[in-house]
Structure 1
Amino acid sequence: MTHSAIDPAREGRFILLLGALVAFGPLAIDLYLPALPAIASGLAASAEAVQLSITVFLAGFSLGMLFYGPLSDRYGRRTVMLSGIALFAAASLACMLATAVEQLIVARFVQALGGGAASVLARAVVRDVYTPTEAIRKLSLMAMVTAIAPLLAPLLGSLLLVQFGWRGTFAAVVLWGVLSLLVVWFQLPETLPAGQRGQLPLSRAFAIYGSLLVDPVALGLMLAGGMSFAAMFAYITASPFYFIELHGFSPFAYGLLFASNAVGIFAANYVNSRLVKAQGPAVMAGFGSGLGFLGALLLWVAAGVNDALPAVIVGLFMVVSMTGLLGANCVGLLMARYPQNAGAAAALFGASQFGLGMLASAAVSYTHDGSGRPMAWVILVTAAASLAGYLLFRRAAR
C-alpha cells in the first residue's frame, strides 16, 4: 500500500484512525485521573498505591513499544497491532473488575504492554505509506487528533465517574479497545509488504536499538523529543496540586486550564503541518525546542517570584504546546534516517518519551515541598536537555 493507493476521500479517515491509535496512551491515563480518589476509597487503598498505577502504566507502555517495533519490522504491522490491542482490551476489563489495588496495578501494567502496540505502529504505518517530509506533515495532523484526547478525557472521565462510579471509566476504556480492534480489523490493511520486511533473525532485529543509541544524530533527536515530553509529564504530575490545592482552582477551572494547553498542542501541530514542507522538519524542531526552553525559563522565574500566576500559566502553555511539534518532527526525522527499521526507530523514540516522562514525574513527586518550585525546576532542566539534544542533532547531522 503506497501513498497513491489512498484516495483523498479515504485519506482523511486514514489519518483520523491513526491519530486515534496514537492516543491510546494519553486516553488510558487522562480518562481515569478524576477517579483516582474514588478508586483509593473504593479499593481501601492509599493515594500513593493508586498513583503507582500511573507509574507502572508508563513503564509497561515503554516496554511494550520496544517489543512491537522490531516484531512489526519482521512480521508486518497489522498482526502485531491487532494482538496488542486485544491484550489492551482484555487487561482493561481486568482493571474494571479489580477488587484489590494490587490487582489493579498488575492489570494496568498488562494494559500498558498492549496499548504500546497501537501507539508506536500507527507512526510506523505513516512511514510505510508516505515520503519522509509528507510523513512528518501527516504525523503533525495525527498529533492534532491525539491532542483531543487530553482535552476531552478528564472531562469525560469526571462525567463517567458521576454517572457510573470509577468502574465506569474503565468500562469506557474496554469499549474503546474493542472498537479500535474492530476498526483496525476491517479498515487497516497491511502497509509493510512481505518483500520489504527485514529478513534478520529477531535477535539481530532487536540489536538495531544498540546502533540507534550510539548514533549521535538519533540520540539528539530522542533527547529533543523525549525531554520535551518529560516536561509535559512533570506538569501533568504537579499541576493538580499546584492549581487546585495551592491556588484554590476548582476541579472544573483546572480542567479548563488543562484543556487550554491541549489546544496549544493542537495549534502548534496545525502550524507545523502548514510550514514543514517549506521550512523543513529540522528548522521546525529548532523553533520547538527554543520556544519550549524560553517558556520553561519564564515559568522558573515566575514560580520563584511569589508565584506570579499569569506568567506561570503562559510559561506552562509555551512548554506544553511545543511537545507535539517536537514529537512529530523528531520521530519523522529518525524514521527517515532508518527506513529499513522504521518500526524499531519509532518504538525507541516512543519508549524514550514515556521512560523520560516517568523519570520527570518521579522527580516532581520526590522533590515535592508544598510549592510550585519543584515543578518549575524539573521543567527547566528537561527543557534545557531538549534544547541540548536538538543542538547535538544539528551538529552531528552536519
Structure 2
Amino acid sequence: MIRFLICSFALVLLYPTAIDLYLVGLPQIAHDLGATESQLHIAFSIYLAGMATTMLFAGRLSDTIGRKPIAIAGAIIFIFASLLGGQAENSTVFLVARFAQGIGAGSCYVVAFAILRDTLDDQRRAKVLSMLNGIICIVPVIAPVIGHLIMLKFPWPSLFSTMAGMGVLVCLLSVLVLKESNTNRLGRSNHTTLVPDPFAPGETQHSQFTNERFLDRFFVSRVVITSIGVTTILTYVNVSPMLVMDAMGFDRGGYSTTMALTALVSMLASFSAPFLLSIFKQRSLMLFSQGLFAAAAIVLMASGLSLLDQVANLIGFSLICAGFSIGFGVTMSQALSPYSQRAGVASSILGIAQVCASAFYIWLMGLMGVSALNMLITVLALGGVISAALILLIPLPALPTCCKANEEITRAS
C-alpha cells in the first residue's frame, strides 16, 4: 500500500511544480527569448491546455492497458519537454515545450487519482486525498524559494533541468516501485462481451463497463462541486495580487508573506481533514466547507463596503483556503467511488471539467470587466449555494454489490 501512496504523490506533484518553479526566472527568460513577460504569461494557459487535451485520452488508455504504462509514458514526455524548455531559443519553442509538459503532467495526474481509486476504500481515499491536497498546497510556497536558490548560482535553464530531474525520479518510481493497480483492465478479461461505447461511436467496450456510466446525476453533481471548488481557489490565486498589493497596499514582500500564510492555512486544514473524517460524516464536512466559503464571501463583501478594515480580507482569504482544503478531497473521493472499472476516465473527466470551468469563469469575468473583489465574491456566493444544494439533494448512493466484490478482489490482488 505504501508504494502506491508514494508513487501517487510523486505523480501528482509534477503538475504544480511545473507551474511554480520557473516563475521566479520569468523576467530573465523573457529577456533571453526576446519576449515580454506578459507574452510569456500565456505559458500558464498553454500548460493547462496541454493537460486538458491529454487527460481524457490518458484516462481511457489507463483503463485499457493499465496505470503503469501511462505513468511511465507521461514521465518520459515530461522529461524531454522540460529539457526542450531549458534549451529554447525563442518564445515559440518555449511555448511548445510548456504544452508538452502539460501533456506529461496531465497523464501522470490522471493516473495518480486512478491508482488511489484502485487501491483505497472510500473512507481511506478521502483521508489520503485531503493529505495530498495539503502537500500540493506547500508547492506554491516552496517552489519559488527553490527556484530563487537555484538561480543564485545557475541560469534559468537550470530550472527546467530541475523539472527534468523530477521527471526522472517519477519515471524511476513508476518503473521500479509502482505495481499495476488496474486489475480490471480490458486485456485481463476473456469472457465479457463487446458492446457499443457511448463515448466513442464506432468502437466497442466490455459489457461490465456499461454499468459505470458518466451521465449519472451523482457523478455530474460531484463534477460540478469540485469544478466550482477549483474555480474558487484559482480565482483567489489569480486576483490575489490586485487585492493584496493594489487594494491593501502591500509590497511584494508582504504579498509573498500573505500567500505563504494562506498556504499554511491550507496545509493545516488538509492535514486535519483525516482526523475530522474520523469524527464527522463526509457530507457534514462538505457542507462545513461550503459554510466557510459563505463566511469568506460575507467578510470580503463587508470589507468591500468599508464595513470592515481592508485587513479583514486576510481572514476571508484564510476561510477560502480552509474551505477548499477540507471539502475538495472528500468530494473527489465521492466522485470516484462508483467507478471500479473506469476510474481513469472518471478522473480525466473531473480534471478536464475543473481546468475548463476555472479558465472559462476567469476569462468571462475579465471580459465583462468585473472587479477582482467582485469576481471572487461571486464565485464564493453563487458557487457555494449551488454546491450546498447539490450536496443536500444528491447524497452518496450505496455502492452496488458487484462493485463491492470488485473492490475486494482488487484489495486482495
Counterpart of 1:395? Answer: 393
Counterpart of 1:303? Answer: 304
* Per-residue Cα deviation, 1:338-358 (whole angstroms, up to 9, x for no partner): 222222111111222222232
Alignment of 1:113-132 (within 5 A): 113-132=103-122
Structure 2 CA distance for aligned equivalents of residues 98 and 88 of structure 1: 15
What 5-or-longer segments of structure 1 have no aligned partner? 1-5
1:36 and 2:34 aligned? no
Counterpart of 1:375? Answer: 372
* Per-residue Cα deviation, 1:46-75 (whole angstroms, up to 9, x for no partner): 233111111111122122222211211111
Percent of aligned pairs with the same amino acid: 25
8 Å CA contact retained: 2:82, 2:160:
yes
8 Å CA contact retained: 2:303, 2:312:
yes
Structure 2 CA distance for aligned equivalents of residues 354 and 161 of structure 1: 30
**Which TM-score applies when normalising by structure 2?**
0.84
**Which TM-score applies when normalising by structure 1?**
0.87
The more displaced of 137-146 and 384-393 is: 384-393
Counterpart of 1:180? Answer: 170
User: 1:108 offset after TM fit, Å?
Assistant: 0.7
* Per-residue Cα deviation, 1:287-311 (whole angstroms, up to 9, x for no partner): 1122123213322332343993321
1:204 and 2:234 aligned? no
> 2:145 aligned to 155, 164, 179, which one?
155
- Measured at CA, do residues 120 and 184 of structure 1 come closer, stay the same or move farther in structure 2, by a change above 3 Å? same
Counterpart of 2:276? Answer: 275
Structure 2 CA distance for aligned equivalents of residues 108 and 79 of structure 1: 22
Counterpart of 2:55? Answer: 65
1:106 and 2:96 aligned? yes
User: 1:125 offset after TM fit, Å?
Assistant: 0.8
* Per-residue Cα deviation, 1:10-43 (whole angstroms, up to 9, x for no partner): x2x6434422322222111111222223322222
* Per-residue Cα deviation, 1:149-172 (whole angstroms, up to 9, x for no partner): 122112222222333233222221
Structure 1 CA distance for aligned equivalents of residues 195 and 69 of structure 2: 16
1:49 and 2:42 aligned? no
Supply the AA of the counterpart residue of 2:310: L
Structure 2 CA distance for aligned equivalents of residues 150 and 18 of structure 1: 19
Supply the AA of the counterpart residue of 1:396: I
8 Å CA contact retained: 1:289, 1:322:
yes
Supply the AA of the counterpart residue of 1:76: G
Structure 2 CA distance for aligned equivalents of residues 109 and 59 of structure 1: 7
Structure 1 CA distance for aligned equivalents of residues 324 and 89 of structure 2: 37
Supply the AA of the counterpart residue of 1:24: L
SS at match of 1:62: helix
SS at match of 1:339: coil
Higher helix share: 1
Higher-Rg structure is 2
Structure 1 CA distance for aligned equivalents of residues 196 and 14 of structure 2: 28
SS at match of 2:44: helix
Counterpart of 2:295? Answer: 294
Report how many aligned residue pairs link the two structures. Answer: 383
Structure 1 CA distance for aligned equivalents of residues 229 and 319 of structure 2: 11
User: 1:239 offset after TM fit, Å?
Assistant: 2.0
Structure 2 CA distance for aligned equivalents of residues 297 and 58 of structure 1: 31
- Measured at CA, do residues 62 and 254 of structure 1 come closer, stay the same or move farther in structure 2, by a change above 3 Å? same
8 Å CA contact retained: 2:286, 2:391:
no
Counterpart of 2:205? Answer: none
1:86 and 2:84 aligned? no
